[in-house]
Structure formats: C-alpha cells, structure tokens
Amino acid sequence: MSDHPGAAEQERVAAQWQTEDQGPDRRFLAFSVLVLVSAVTAAALVSWWLPSPATPRVVVTGLLLALGFLLAEQLAINIDVRSGVSWSISFCEIPLVIGLFVAPFEVVLAAHLLAGVGTLLVRRVQDRILYNAGAMVFEITSAFAVAKWVNDALAGIGPAWAGVLAGALVAPLSSTLLALVCVRVLGRTMRLNAAVRLVLRTLVLGLVNASMGVVGYQVVVHAEAGWPLLVLALAGLSALYLAYSGLLREQRDLEALSEISLIVARSGHQAAAKPSLGRTEPNDLAEIADSDEWQTIADRIKDQLGAARVVLRLRFEPQLPLHTVVSGDDLPPDVRDVEATGSRADALLRLPGSHVRHFRRGDATPDIRHALLRRAADEVLIVPLRSASHLLGVVEAHDKLSRWRGFGQADHRLIGTMASHLATAMDNRRLLATLRHDAYHDPLTNLLNRPGFRRAAGEPLRKHPDSVVLRIDLDVLSTVSDALGYAWSDRMVVAAGRRLRDALGPDVALARLEGGQFAALLVDATTDEAHLIAERLRAELAAPYPVDRLTVEANSVVGYSTPRSGDGDQPESDVDALLQRADVALRAARSSGDTVKAYLPTMGQIFLRRFQLVTQFRHALETGQVKVHYQPKVALPSRQVLGVEALVRWRHPEFGRLDPDEFVPAVEAAGLVDALTGFVMDQALIRVRKWMDRGLRIAAAVNLSVRSLDDPNFPQRVAAALDRHGVPPELLTLELTESGVMADPQRALPVLRALHTLGVVLAVDDFGTGYSSLAYLRQLPVDEVKIDKSFVLGMGTDLGDLAVVRSIVELGHSLGLTVVAEGVEDDAARDQLAGMGCDVAQGYLISRPLSESRLEAWLQARTTQARGLRDEMVLTLLA
C-alpha cells in the first residue's frame, strides 16, 4: 500500500532525499537497492513459506486487482489537517484486503507493482522507482506474512478475516517504518514525537480502510445483494470524505490567503516605521525587498500547496533586479538569480499570460524541459504576479509532495488566487511606499523635504548628541530665476543637490528645505570636522553651473549647530530647533561676510531681539518711543547753519536707547521702512515749517532706504508731504547711500529723476565706501555728495584718507556738486576741509544730533541771527 495515513509526511521525507541530493546520490541509490533486494528476498521467503493454492484465472484476478490498486490511488483524497500537514487517504487497503482473501501472494504483489511502478513511470518519477518498488514489495510481503501468521495463531478460534485485517494494517505500517529507517540511514533528523504521531496516524487510517475492506468483502460474499449495498455504502462514505475535505481545504485556503495579504500589509507598516535617509533612489522600495516577510509568504504558499519548493521572484521597481525568495528545497544558484528577459532568459519566465500554467517534465517542449531540469523539478505550477499596469513578479511551485499525485485543480485555483492576492497586496504596498516617499521627499531633487529630514534626523540626534546639523544656502538663485526663469533655477537646485549628495555619500541625511536651502545631518561629528565638511561642500557648490549657454557661479553660506551648542545643560535634540539655530548661524555668517559659521547662543539672542524690534516697531512709532534728532550742517567757511540731518532715535522700554544701526536694517528687512521714512520726513518737515514761520530758512535732510527707490509711488508721497507741510522742495534733502544707489543704478534712476524733477536736493551719503567713480555719478541727477565720516575722521593721521577727501572735493566740484564732510570732530579737520574748499561740514565739533528742544536751545545759544541777502533770516555759528 502506498498512500496511507501520514503519507504526505512520509513523502516529504522521500522528496527530500530526492531533491537535496541532486543528481545520482550514491547513498540513496545504495539504500534503495538494499531495500529492493531485501524486500525481494523477503518476498521469495514468504512465497516459499505460503501455500500456493491453485487459483483459477490467475491472470484475470491479477489484472482486476491491479486495476483496483490503480483506481484506489487515483481516488486518493487529500485532507489538510494543519498548516502544511495533509493526510493523503487512498483506498489501497481495499484491493489489498480483497487480494488477501482471494488471490495468492505473488498475484497481489505483481498487481500492486504493476499499478504502482506503472504510475511512477507514467509520471516520470524515475529516481524514486527503486525505493518505492522496494517499499511496495515490503508492504505486500509483510501483509501476507502477518495474515498467515495471525490465521495460524488463531486457527479454529478466530474468524478468517482477522488475519486479513492484521495484514492490511501491517502493510502501511511497514512502509512508514521503512521511511523512518530511511530518515535515520540518510542521517536526517526527525523528532521522536513526530515519528510516533506518524505511526499512530498510519495505524488509525489503516484501520479504517482495512476494516472497511473487510466489511465490504464480507458483505459482498455473505450478504444478500451484497454488491449494491457495498457500492452504496462506499459512495456515501466517499461523498462524505470529499465534502469534508473540500470544505476543510477551502477554509484552509481562505485562511492562507488572508494571512498572506496580512503579512504584506503588515510588512508595509513595519517599513513605514523605519525612517530613510533621503537617498536619491527610491529606497523605501528597496526596503520592502529587504523585509523577510517574503520568506514567510513563500513558506506559507509552499505549505498550503504541499509543494517541495516555492520560488517567489519579485520585481519591486522596473529598474531593480528580480528579488528571489525560495522556500523549501534549495534552488541551484543559476536558476535562483535567473533573468526574466533577454537572451539568458529562462523559458518558464519568458512565458506570457496572466493565468496559472502547469508543466510536467514528461509532456513539455525541450526548452521547458530544460528549465524544469535546471530547477531539478518534475513539475511546475507557475503564475505571474500582475498589477493593473505591469508585471510584479512570478510565483513558482515545484513538485507536489506526494508520491503519486501531481498538482491538481484545487492547487491551480489556490496558487492563482494567492498570486492575485499577493499582487494586489504588493500593489497596495507599492502605493503606500510611493505615497510615503512623496510625503517625505522633495519632488525636484528627490532629497528629503523638511518633514522627511525631521523624521530621518530625529532619532540620530537623540542618540548621538555629538552630531551636527548643517544648513547650506545657495546664493545666486533668485537672480537666476529672475533673469532666466524658474526652469533654470530649478536645474541649478537639482545640480547643487546632486553635488551635495555626491560629496556627503549615500548615508548622510540630506534635505532640500526650500529654494536653494539644503540641510544635512552629520552623525557623530565634531565641530571641526563639520567645519571642514562645510568648506568642502562650499567648494563643490562653487564650481560653475552651465546654464543656458552661460555658466553661472554660485556662492553659498553654511551655518551649523549641534545639540550641545545651546546655553542649556541638556543637549537639544529637536530637529526644528537645531535647523533654526543653524539658520541663525547662517544669517550671522552672511551679515558678517563669513562663509561658514557655528551657532552661538548669543546669536540666538541677537536674532530674537531683532525679531522683537521688528514686531514692536509700529507700536513704537505710535506710542512716541521713536523720536527724531537733528544734527546741524554748517557752510564752510561762512559757518552759516544751512540745515540739519534728521536722525531717528528709539528709546525702547526694555532695551533702552537703540542705535539706528541696529534697528534700521531690521526694519528695512521687514519691509517697514516706508513707515519709518514717512514718520521722519513728517517730523523733519514740521520742524522746517516752524522755522519758516519764524522767517528762518533751514533745510532738513532725511535718510532714505534703497527700498524706497524701488517704489514708483515714492516721489508722489514726497510731493504730498511737502504740500501738506507747505515746505518748498529745496528745503528737503534726501540722502541715499552710495552702495544703495550704485547697487542697481538703472533701477533707481526713474525714481531719482522724478525726485529731481520735484526739486528736492538729492545727496549721496557715505561716499567713498563703495566702488563707484564720481564720473559715474554724473549720470545720476544728484546735487550733493557726503564724504563718508571714516575718511574725515582718519584725515588727520592717514595720508590716504586725506587724499581721498581731497579728490572727492575736487572732483565733486568739477561735476558741479555740493560737497559735504560728515564726521568733523575737531578744528583741524574743519580748517583742512575749509582749505580744500569743501562746502559743508557736519560733525560733533559743530554739534551732536540733538532732540528738538535741545536743538532750539543750541540755536539760541550758539548762533547769531542776521538778515540775509534775500531778506531772509540767517543763523551763523558763533566762533
């Protein structure tokens, strides 16, 4: 008897001998021969020992029995008991029982061998034939020997069927024991527990089948109309078997399917918890491939199909190679990493289609047979994994773990449904990975975005307080996008991102935050190392970028911070806080003209203060914290007070007196400079108006911000202010710094012209600090140059400064400009300037900037009033 309780497990043992010992395994062959020889010897002995009753029609009986064995094998039912454990129930004990009753030993043996070996040959399981033939001989021999022995022992006492029953029971037991011996001989291990269970199961199902056979025979022989009765009973019983096993199998298959879908879904969640570093390649998908869930899935499919081996070949991304997972018997390396396309492609994998295909070595075309041979498989079930759009991979199942049967209809259905579940789950998984990738990556550079950086840097920063967060800002970007459009600036960003990635290597978390701003995390780095790396990154970014037939060079600035760079005792591990600090350092670097700067806690306070100033400025204007002071300007050498410069002052309730050099740039940067200029101009014009009312012609100078020159409505507002206060335009001077005007003279020109047309006096402030030539100034409608105070202050000790002052005075005059010197602190300077012919002096020598009331007092005390040429009142500084 071949298929009997526990056969599947036993078969698995047999299959392992066959497949793991690829090719002519001598040990298995020797063992098979030994089994066969000893079985045949035993059979000969038994044949000699047993009486040979002269049976009529031996050949017919033999053929009928062979047919019975064949039928019994074909009708075998698989009952799946537990994951991967199935009982193969055949009815081979029934023909055996009949044989034991009616036929001589040799006939039954021949019939069984005929049916068994024939089937094996048809199914091309050649390499197991010797062993299996031996096992069959053992089964029949032991059955007859035991039957005879029991009948002899019970002679006269027991019924005749007792021996038959015992014999039919011993047959499956003997082959099971033989299999266990085989396991031992081949040095494989099987737990005692499992072996005992196997034997017990063999006995139970053997008993059921054998007793059924005996009962059937008795009924046929002794009962009235026994045949139909037996057929009826058998039909009912098999129907029950079939229904029950079908039900069990369906349930098991469903469980397996949902389990597989669940594993795939769960693996997605686990991968989602693992942050990636924002490499350029879609590494979230690579992570899926790494996951060992696929092994579990392959194992599950293998168990469910009862296959010797299951191979999953998965393609997670079109550009990635096939990822192969094998469950069960090893797969030779050359078929493991086989290619699905191209000249080296495997015949099985090249097959088109979307449904399950079944190939057997026996009836395959030569190239398919070759593919099967490479896998050392007799038969293969193969099904592609297809999503809506593309091929995700292939599932292969090799060799059913059963001595007789190959894969059946139910297996086709199961592997097909599994494949479609798997494909759907993979598709969902891919979708999830894509969504996650998109959520955490910058689509332009494929680097991390801000949330991605937060996620990737969070844990490393907590674990490694000696890490550094870098912020890298590319400079020229806005210029490029203004001049050439966003496409080009985008290309520059992509190129810059690639350079940074190449310089930092694949394992550093790198993000593009926005525009030309990048961030990187250096884990376990000292600040010295970070500084060196930052310089290297700057050098990489500085190489020219080919942009639309021109090459653009980009400057960059780096600021960095570390968890320990705060002023608290605890290291700061919050990614946003560290990014913010690195940004503070970056801005500090930029304003001090540095290229790389580390964050210092004091920087944070400075920026915090600037932030406060900006937010409080409007309120300060409205509540009178902001005032205007005035510094007189006097003519040289006449000492006539020509005007005053209006200089803003802020007495802050918390910070005290604030320097305009501190808050004016902040107010400008915040876009609030219009409010400032408007306020100062109004105050200055009120003052001028008051002097006019007293018959005094004193001009006021107001400092402008470059930003005012961007505003085409600015001249209108100036005109409106002059109108409002009833001040003639020539009593208002507008001061613009040299660097401000010269940064983009073409842009400033229209507004300058409009102001000039109004009749206001235009002065270039801080002259000499920029790089413009006076000749260039001629093209601008300006009336006055103010020599920067640094030259005037240095004039007494530095011949260079003196030369600068002298040439500005001379050239200014040659261009018809009024020349003003500011920063006049002593008599010597004033006298020198007067000697050179400088027109106007302003400085501490004459007066510090004064509040309104103190200015009035100063005018009272320090000047004399006289009637001027045009009948106006003129103030002259006392000597």
Residues forming the site for ligand C2E (CB under 6 A): 631, 646-648, 659-661, 664, 676, 680, 703-705, 735, 765-766, 789, 822-825, 843-844, 849
SS3 for 381? strand
Q: How far is the CB of 587 from Ca ion (least distance, A)?
A: 25
Q: How far is the CB of 655 from ligand C2E (least distance, A)?
A: 15
**Entry field: residues in the chain:** 879
d(C-alpha 810, C-alpha 561), whole Å = 51
Quickly list DSSP for 607-634.
Answer: HHHHHHHHHHHHHHHHTT-EEEEEEEEE
Q: Among candidates 829, 842, 836, which has minimal Cα distance to 797?
A: 829
| Closer residue to ligand C2E (CB): 452 or 849 | 849
Q: Among Ca ion, ligand C2E, none, what binds residue 93 when CB lies within 5 to 8 Å by partner kind?
A: none
| Closer residue to ligand C2E (CB): 22 or 851 | 851
Q: Among ligand C2E, Ca ion, none, what binds residue 661 when CB lies within 5 to 8 Å by partner kind?
A: ligand C2E
Q: Among candidates 475, 671, 481, which has minimal Cα distance to 587?
A: 475
d(C-alpha 87, C-alpha 244), whole Å = 13
d(C-alpha 264, C-alpha 427), whole Å = 10
Q: Among ligand C2E, Ca ion, none, what binds residue 680 when CB lies within 5 to 8 Å by partner kind?
A: ligand C2E
> 88 to each of 74, 75, 480, how far by Cα in Å?
11, 10, 76
| Closer residue to ligand C2E (CB): 486 or 844 | 844
Q: How far is the CB of 496 from Ca ion (least distance, A)?
A: 39
Contact 873, 697 (CB under 8 A): yes
d(C-alpha 566, C-alpha 602), whole Å = 9
| Closer residue to ligand C2E (CB): 278 or 843 | 843
| Closer residue to ligand C2E (CB): 335 or 792 | 792
Q: How far is the CB of 703 from Ca ion (least distance, A)?
A: 5
Q: Among Ca ion, ligand C2E, none, what binds residue 833 when CB lies within 5 to 8 Å by partner kind?
A: none
Handedness of CA 764, 765, 767, 769 (dihedral sign): negative
Q: State both tokens at 510.
A: 């790198």
Q: State both tokens at 607.
A: 């920026």
| Closer residue to Ca ion (CB): 209 or 733 | 733
Q: Among Ca ion, ligand C2E, none, what binds residue 844 when CB lies within 5 to 8 Å by partner kind?
A: ligand C2E
Q: Among ligand C2E, Ca ion, none, what binds residue 99 when CB lies within 5 to 8 Å by partner kind?
A: none
User: Which class for 8: exposed (0-12), middle (13-18), buried (19 or more C-beta within 10 A)?
Assistant: buried
SS3 for 382? strand
| Closer residue to ligand C2E (CB): 205 or 761 | 761
Q: How far is the CB of 645 from ligand C2E (least distance, A)?
A: 6
The label of the residue with tokens 């298929």 reads 3
CA atoms in the 13 A half-sphere facing the CB of 133: 22
Q: How far is the CB of 287 from ligand C2E (least distance, A)?
A: 56
d(C-alpha 128, C-alpha 498), whole Å = 60
Q: Among ligand C2E, Ca ion, none, what binds residue 659 when CB lies within 5 to 8 Å by partner kind?
A: ligand C2E
Q: How far is the CB of 864 from ligand C2E (least distance, A)?
A: 23
| Closer residue to ligand C2E (CB): 68 or 715 | 715
CA end-to-end span of the chain:
136
Q: Among Ca ion, ligand C2E, none, what binds residue 496 when CB lies within 5 to 8 Å by partner kind?
A: none
Q: How far is the CB of 657 from ligand C2E (least distance, A)?
A: 10
Q: Among Ca ion, ligand C2E, none, what binds residue 103 when CB lies within 5 to 8 Å by partner kind?
A: none
Q: Among ligand C2E, Ca ion, none, what binds residue 97 when CB lies within 5 to 8 Å by partner kind?
A: none
Q: Among Ca ion, ligand C2E, none, what binds residue 843 when CB lies within 5 to 8 Å by partner kind?
A: ligand C2E
d(C-alpha 291, C-alpha 266), whole Å = 11
Q: How far is the CB of 765 from ligand C2E (least distance, A)?
A: 5
Q: Among ligand C2E, Ca ion, none, what binds residue 849 when CB lies within 5 to 8 Å by partner kind?
A: ligand C2E
Q: State both tokens at 44.
A: 């000969």
Q: How far is the CB of 587 from ligand C2E (least distance, A)?
A: 20
d(C-alpha 759, C-alpha 754), whole Å = 9
Cis peptide before 637 (omega within 30 of 0): yes
Rg (CA), the chain: 50
Quickly list DSSP for 42-85.
Answer: HHHHHHHHS-----TTHHHHHHHHHHHHHHHHHT-EEEEEETTE
Q: Among ligand C2E, Ca ion, none, what binds residue 705 when CB lies within 5 to 8 Å by partner kind?
A: ligand C2E
Q: How far is the CB of 851 from ligand C2E (least distance, A)?
A: 12
Q: How far is the CB of 736 from ligand C2E (least distance, A)?
A: 9
| Closer residue to ligand C2E (CB): 149 or 655 | 655
| Closer residue to ligand C2E (CB): 203 or 809 | 809
Residue nearest to ligand C2E (CB): 843
| Closer residue to ligand C2E (CB): 250 or 674 | 674
| Closer residue to ligand C2E (CB): 343 or 853 | 853
Contact 582, 561 (CB under 8 A): yes
Residue nearest to Ca ion (CB): 735
Q: Among Ca ion, ligand C2E, none, what binds residue 632 when CB lies within 5 to 8 Å by partner kind?
A: none
Q: Among ligand C2E, Ca ion, none, what binds residue 660 when CB lies within 5 to 8 Å by partner kind?
A: ligand C2E
Handedness of CA 118, 119, 124, 127 (dihedral sign): negative
User: Which class for 54: exposed (0-12), middle (13-18), buried (19 or more C-beta within 10 A)?
Assistant: exposed
Q: State both tokens at 160.
A: 């005749």
User: Which class for 410: exposed (0-12), middle (13-18), buried (19 or more C-beta within 10 A)?
Assistant: middle
Q: How far is the CB of 647 from ligand C2E (least distance, A)?
A: 4
Kind plus residue range of the DSSP H or E element containing 365: none
Q: Among candidates 305, 307, 100, 81, which has minimal Cα distance to 201?
A: 81
| Closer residue to Ca ion (CB): 93 or 765 | 765
| Closer residue to ligand C2E (CB): 316 or 617 | 617
Q: Among Ca ion, ligand C2E, none, what binds residue 847 when CB lies within 5 to 8 Å by partner kind?
A: none
Q: How far is the CB of 680 from ligand C2E (least distance, A)?
A: 4
d(C-alpha 503, C-alpha 546), whole Å = 19
d(C-alpha 456, C-alpha 619), whole Å = 42
| Closer residue to ligand C2E (CB): 325 or 846 | 846
Quickly list DSSP for 711-739.
Answer: -TTHHHHHHHHHHHHT--GGGEEEEEEHH
| Closer residue to Ca ion (CB): 108 or 841 | 841
Q: How far is the CB of 783 from ligand C2E (least distance, A)?
A: 16
| Amino acid identity for residue 244 in this structure | Y
Interacting residues with Ca ion (CB under 5 A): 703, 735, 765-766
User: Which class for 814: exposed (0-12), middle (13-18), buried (19 or more C-beta within 10 A)?
Assistant: exposed
Contact 214, 18 (CB under 8 A): no
For residues 491-527, b (16+ Cβ closer than 10 Å) or e, as one string?
bbbbbbbebbbebbeeebbbbbbeebbbbbbbeebeb
Q: How far is the CB of 804 from ligand C2E (least distance, A)?
A: 16
| Closer residue to Ca ion (CB): 147 or 709 | 709
Q: How far is the CB of 728 from ligand C2E (least distance, A)?
A: 21
Q: Among ligand C2E, Ca ion, none, what binds residue 823 when CB lies within 5 to 8 Å by partner kind?
A: ligand C2E
